[in-house]
Amino acid sequence: MFGKIKEIEERYDELEENLGRPEVIRDQRLYQEYIKEHGSLTPIINTFRKSRSVQHEIEDNRPLLNDPDPEIRKLANEEIEALRSKLAHLEEELKALLLPKDPNDEKNTLLEIRAGTGGEEAALFAADLFRMYSRYAEMRGWKAEILSQNATGIGGFKEIIILIGGQMVYSRLKFESGVHRVQRVPETEAQGRIHTSAVTVAVLPEAEEIDVAIDPEDLRVDVFRASGHGGQHVNTTDSAVRITHLPTGLVVSCQDEKSQHKNKAKAMKVLRSRLFDMQQAEQHSKISQERRNQVGSGDRSERIRTYNFPQGRVTEHRIGLTLYKLESFLQGELDLVIEPLITHFQTEALKKNSDN
């Protein structure tokens, strides 16, 4: 591990030197590239240097263990024990920082929320989840943009797709893929019975053109008049766009914008990300079942979380976590669950790393 850190430290020092060179500062593309790499290495170097400082403190205190004064020996022993505990913590932190990074962690994210079993109640809960993720994005300083939506008449969504952009979005949202179950009394329920409904969430890293090559010959583009709740432009112009990717049969529609060109651009974002997701799924299928279980596959057929309204409870099934903070959670305080999830999967990855 320390041999690897030595290489990283040499690269870090080299980057710091390069960032001060006038020719690098003038080349903004190269400068930004170096800044990004420097920023990614900074947490590793800071943690390593802290651990090295603690090691030096331990060595400085060691001679005091032989001091003729018993009180000094006692204090030195207590100090060394505290420093060893601190060092062990820093070394664990360092191991986590050195784990292979998910190449998609820094990408923007497409969040696809779809009503599942439960009819109108599921559609209403899909709208609740949309608001929850939008508030979380706002709290983290991210930007959320609706790419496509299929609204119901009473405020729900059969489907809504949003693009969330910002720093390390995918790294925090990637564990949200799966079935989200809700237990509550629907507004339309006259007898006060609790119903169980479900909404599926798919989390896709936004794919750039360099990630997925799409041959225009493989696309069929149809235009039609928008329908539903959409404003004055609805049913007046052929602004809605449907794109079919012929080799895979994937179909994406968008009708939210008045401009046909804007709708096509949004539809292409969704299509590109879905194709990228398919490519990654094929790669993941080659990985052993054991590895998929440890990393967390993000399988959308897997029930990951239950929202119980009568008890004000959120249950995260993958890690056995139950919180009685449903209202806060729905207001966007997702880190109550996201932080423990990250810690869990990071711990599993560390175990796998040590076994190898």
- Residue 124 confidence (pLDDT): 94
Angle at CA 46, nearest 5°, toward 6 and 90?
A: 90
pLDDT of residue 68: 92
Pairing of the two strands 219-224 and 195-205? unpaired
How many angstroms separate the CA atoms of 143 and 148, rounded? 16
User: How many Cβ atoms from other residues are within 10 Å of residue 188's Cβ?
Assistant: 11
CATH class for the region spanning 216-283: alpha beta
Residue 6: count of CB within 10 angstroms of its CB: 11
Spatial neighbors of 5 by CB under 8 A, at least 6 apart, are: 44, 48, 94, 98
* Predicted local confidence at residue 290, as pLDDT: 36
Are the CB atoms for 171 and 142 separated by under 8 Å? Answer: no
Sequence spans of domains, the chain = 2-97, 109-210+297-355, 216-283
One-character DSSP codes across 1-42: -HHHHHHHHHHHHHHHHHHT-HHHHH-HHHHHHHHHHHHHHH
Residues of the chain under the 50 pLDDT cut: 230-235, 287-300
pLDDT given at position 164: 95
DSSP string, 135-152: HHHHHTT-EEEEEEEEE-
Three-class secondary structure of residue 324 per DSSP: coil
pLDDT for residue 1: 63
| Residue 155 φ then ψ, to 5° | 100, 5
The reply to whether 2-97 and 109-210+297-355 are identical in fold is: no
CATH 3.30.70.1660 is held by the domain 109-210+297-355: yes
Q: Which helix (H) or strand (E) holds 235?
A: none
Tell me, yes or no, if the pTM score tops 0.85. Answer: no
CA distance linking residue 80 with residue 69, whole number of Å: 17
Predicted pLDDT of residue 260: 86
Residue 177's pLDDT is what? 92
Domain 2-97, classified CATH 1.20.58, yes or no? yes
Quickly list DSSP for 33-54. HHHHHHHHHHHHHHHHHHHHHH
pLDDT in tens, 115-169: 998 888 999 999 999 999 999 999 999 999 998 888 988 889 999 999 999 988 9
CB atoms within 10 A of CB 273: 27
